[in-house]
Structures are given as C-alpha cells and as structure tokens.
Structure 1
Amino acid sequence: MPKPSRSMDWGFPRWRGYGSSREATQVRICDRHGCDQKGDCPAPKAPNSRDRWYFCQKHAAEYNSKWDYFEGLDKAEREERAKAERSENAGYAEAQHYGWGGSGDGSRSQDEMRALDLLELEADADFPAIKKAWREKAKLVHPDVKPGDAAAATEFQKLQLAYEVLKAAEDRREWRG
C-alpha cells in the first residue's frame, strides 16, 4: 500500500494555491432584459430607495444618462435638496487639488490651466511671468490701441479674465501661507 503524500499547506487553508477551490461562484446577471453580462453596477430603482438594479457597465451608463435626481420635486424642494448636497460636499472644496486635473503637479485648477494656455505659459509659471505675459499680450489688443475693433476687444476681455483667475489663485496661495 503506497504511503499518502503530505499536504504542503501545513494546516493553513489560505496557503493553498489559487484555483484549488472547486465551489461554484455566484455571478449576478445584468437586470436588463435580454442581457447576459455580469451585473456588478448597482443603480437605485427610485430616489431615496434602498432597492437596486444591478446592471452591466453598458446598461448602467445608459440608465444613468437618463437619471434625474430631482424628478418629482417642486422648485422649492429642488433648491432645498441642492443646498443640502452643497453643504454636505463643502468639505471636499478644501481638497480641490486632489480633483481630476490636467497636466501639472496638481496645484492648479482646470480654470487656471486654461488661463495659462491662453497666455501661452507652462503649468509651472510663477506670478511675475504671468503678469509679464499678460501685459505684453494686453498691450497688443487693448481697446485704446485698437478702438472700434470688436475682435481685439473680445481678445482683451479673455486676457483680462485669465489674469483675474490667476491673480485670485495667487492671492489664495499667499493667504494660505
């Protein structure tokens, strides 16, 4: 009679290799009629309801594109709910630099990045460089230099707005220390 081989798990089942378990795993199927994909994206059946649909990614995106959070509410209730949402999310405003941004080190907002693009500057430009670029560009399209030119006036307004965005950001950085 052959001697049984010793198990290498030393009594610890977690040391066994992956795939050694033979139990069937339960997979939830998408709740959309006719879909046989894995339904791993929960979506509420109604506002303020704990009941959920479980869709595949494709059908969850389709469902969410038509979702109206304020459906069935009158104007006052909509404003109240929107105000409550803003107050609950106010804590995230302090961490804006963690948001989805473009290029750079994450210290500039997307509006600041657009303003820097308009002034044709890099993401790491300091404020004296911003001021210098703004003055050079503003001198070319200022309404006193080109009176009656609507395109120049529009360009000057864009430059002025970009400078104001960057100036406000610089003031916030100085204030924070």
Structure 2
Amino acid sequence: MSRSTRSLDWGFPRWRSYGTTREAAKVRLCDRHGCDEPGNCPAPKAPNSPERWYFCQRHAAEYNSKWDYFEGLEKAEAEERAGAEERTNSAYASATYYGWGGSGDGSRSADEMRALEVLGLEVDADFETIKKAWRARAKELHPDVKPGDAGAAKEFQACQVAYEVLRQAEERREWRG
C-alpha cells in the first residue's frame, strides 16, 4: 500500500485554518531569574540602547517603577524635555476635559462608573462595599418605607439598576478568572 502525499491544503474550503503549522510555537520566557512566565514586555537595558530585556507583566511593572526618564540629564535639559512632553501630550489633557477620558483605572466600563456614582461610591470600591451601600440606599428609599413619594421611588429604581449593572460586571470578572 502506498503512502499518500496529498496535502490537506488543496481546494476550497481549506481543511485547516490559515497560518497554522505543526511546529511548536517558540515562547520567550521572562528574563528575570527564576520566573517561568512568558516574557512579552520589552524593556530597555540602558537609555538609548537597542538591547532589550523581556519581562513578564509583573516584572516589567517592577522594572518600570524604578525607571527615571530624566536620569543623567542636567536640570535645564530635563526641564526642556518635560516641557516638550507636556506640549505634545496636551491634546490628551484637553480630551479628558471634554469628557472623552473618564475617571478610574480603565478596569470599569462607563456604565459601571455611572452606577458607582448613583450609589455614591468611589471608583475603587470592592463588591462588598457596593453591596452594603446598595442595601443601605434600598432601606431608606424603598416604596414601603416612603409610600407615595415618587422621587424616592425613582431613586430606588435607579439604585436597583445600578446594583444590577455592578453585580453582572462582578460576575463576568469572576467568570473570566
């Protein structure tokens, strides 16, 4: 019996996805001694050097926390560079003024930020704090506590919706791991 030399890449549709190969993918490990995480965050070994370290995200953050952009510059040159940075980045500052950039660290959506605002909480509130604030607001605004008060009923509904938005976001975060 002869062996088939025919490839599965002929004709349409292709029988395997494009760009797949059978070779093992090369993964560069973190350059930090003892770390087994993938090193996908390049960091310069020295200022103006093409050589790079490759760290995992945790070690890159540690490395960058000690990085001084103005190290080795004279005071006048450091001030000149800082001014140039400020001039080139001023558009970003005006964007935040017009509401294009929101508050927070980017881990929460705009809906979550509005929900936190409705509950009167800070941006970095954890879910236990959210739950406590929601219960307190619900107890004071509930229609059984304030019968006939349309404003309180409307606020109660807003609190309910805000809590539901935050609860679903927390469930998505837990599900993703």
State the TM-score bracket (shorter-chain normalisation). 0.3 to 0.5
The TM-score with structure 1 as length reference comes to: 0.48
Considering only CA atoms, is the larger Rg found in Structure 1 or Structure 2?
1
TM-score, normalised to structure 2, is: 0.48
